[in-house]
Chains A and B, each alone.
Chain A
Amino acid sequence: MSEIIVDVKNVRKIFTSGTKKERKEFSALEAVSFTVSKGEFVSLLGPSGCGKSTLLKIISGLLPASSGVVSISETGTKKAPPFGFVFQDSVLLPWRTAFDNALFPFEIMGSKEKADEARVKELFGLAKLNGFESSYPRQLSGGMKQRVSIVRALSYNPPILLMDEPFGALDAITRDNLNNVLLEIWESTRKTVLFVTHSISEAVYLSDRIIVMGTKPGRVIKEVPVNLPRPRNEDVKLTPEFYASVKELRELLK
């Protein structure tokens, strides 16, 4: 097995709410452990409320864990984080063009070079966004906004890509298209990807391995490897292997 990039060990998350007298504790994640290897595409699959977003936020450092450790062996650069984050809704700055949104990370890091712009231009091509560089977010469709958001996350070339239901709000047709765009980008960049979804077929189509999560409390039920050949295209969805994986996962999530 290749080098482990993300190592999650015994992570728990307890949310407390209510007043001081009447403390309410809610266990969102219970002893979650798993690893992600370099260049691997791993999905977190589970029903709504099982703590997928919470887990991703803990991994990215947006939230502290109540206990347990997350180690990431890629450090990134001093200025840039080791991961790009794609949110469920695109989180584009409405006062910037699509291109300037994609370049935003460089502005924050205070270091933009000619090569960076060329790279973003190339990613625009990969994401099939050519010609929309100077459009503002309100002029873009939901799917296009999400593609810009992916380009932004990849712009500074982070080794890890964290995605939280990036296509959850899109219709099925757009979603299928974007899955293919994502696969293409992944084939050509070979990032380590941790992808959150509650769509079984999306998880099977994209992933090398699926971490199935259950709810109450949020926990890992099982890890399911997907042994479909790569590179994949829509045809793979018609194979018996694909069906077998979908069926197995459906049983697990019952």
Chain B
Amino acid sequence: MKKGFRNYLLSGLVFIAILVIWKVAVMVLKTPTHILPPPEAILFRFIKLIETSVLQKSVLATFEEILYGFSSGAALGILFGYILAKLPVLEKALSPYILIMQTAPKISLAPLFVLWFGLGILSKVVLIALVTLFPVMINMILGVRSTEKNYYDLMKVLKAKGWQVMVKLELMNALPYLMTGLRVGLVLSITAAVIGEMMGSKAGLGFLLILGNEMYDITLLLTVIVVISLLSFFLDIAMKKLQEKLLFWHESTVR
């Protein structure tokens, strides 16, 4: 506990140091505000955006896209991953395509999706689902395949039914891998949401970025970037907490 507190203190000091350097740099170099605003300008803009409830609406819009996109992508990834893990023939047949899709920058499909699915939430949800799908699927395949032969023997000795082998052995065994895939997928989701919104949308944090860009409003841009970073940060922390909670039995959870 004490050590944890000291770490927080150190991190806090680093944060303050960055703000001070930033402030001093702005004062000494006398940069014009429209190129680099002082740190407090970000704070004031942040407050103003909340007062006008623009920020809440934008965060909510982006969050909603991530929620739908990430959960559908994760669900499909788990499903496809399990099927491919159990059907090596199918996996072999599809593997070159999976490899191409996996390495291709799926974000580049964003403009296409906007044309296909419109400026609304759907185009972002599809993009987010797509970027989430792959890491989840690949890790799911690895996780299910990593189930050791001995455990299958145990299940067979106990006359376990097929669904019991799946639920009580394979899925549990895949869980550590799956959580890794989900964490990667979530980080990619945020990027996909913002870029999707920048390609064409009517709401969301990416929309605010485009707005700031068109109006040469550096303060708005920086404020939104900070908000996006905080959003990613807290989503990842939530995911990490979930991971620790679900995997308390696993070696990776060292306490």
Known contacts A93-B172, A138-B249: does B153 contact A108 (CB below 8 Å)? Answer: no
Query: Chain A residues near B153 (CB, 8 Å)?
Result: 57, 62, 85, 87, 91
Known contacts A95-B249, A138-B251: does B168 contact A79 (CB below 8 Å)? Answer: no
21 contacts between A and B (CB under 8 A): A57-B153, A60-B157, A62-B156, A80-B159, A81-B159, A83-B157, A85-B154, A85-B157, A87-B153, A91-B150, A91-B151, A95-B175, A95-B249, A95-B250, A96-B249, A104-B158, A105-B158, A108-B159, A108-B168, A109-B159, A137-B249
12 more A-B contacts (CB under 8 A) besides A91-B150, A95-B175, A108-B155?
A79-B159, A81-B159, A87-B150, A91-B148, A91-B151, A94-B249, A95-B172, A95-B249, A104-B158, A108-B158, A109-B158, A138-B250
Chain A residues in contact with chain B, CB under 8 A?
Answer: 57, 60-62, 79-81, 83, 85, 87, 89, 91, 93-96, 104-105, 107-109, 136-138
Nearest first, the 9 closest Cβ-Cβ pairs linking A and B are: A95-B249, A108-B158, A85-B157, A91-B150, A108-B160, A136-B249, A91-B154, A105-B158, A94-B249
Residue of chain A at shortest CB distance from B169: A93
> How many A-B pairs fall under 8 Å by CB?
51
**Are B172 and A81 in contact (CB-based, < 8 A)?**
no
Q: Report the separation of the CA atoms of residues A24 and B157 in the bound assembly, to the nearest whole angstrom.
A: 29
Residue of chain B at shortest CB distance from A158: B157
Residue of chain A at shortest CB distance from B251: A138
Q: Report the separation of the CA atoms of residues A57 and B150 in the bound assembly, to the nearest whole angstrom.
A: 11
Is B56 engaged at the interface, CB distance under 8 Å to the other chain?
no
**Are B249 and A89 in contact (CB-based, < 8 A)?**
no
Query: Chain A residues near B155 (CB, 8 Å)?
Result: 108
Q: Report the separation of the CA atoms of residues A158 and B242 in the bound assembly, to the nearest whole angstrom.
A: 40
Q: Report the separation of the CA atoms of residues A89 and B151 in the bound assembly, to the nearest whole angstrom.
A: 10
**Are B150 and A81 in contact (CB-based, < 8 A)?**
no
Give chain B interface residues in 153-195, CB to chain A under 8 Å.
153-160, 164, 168-169, 172, 175
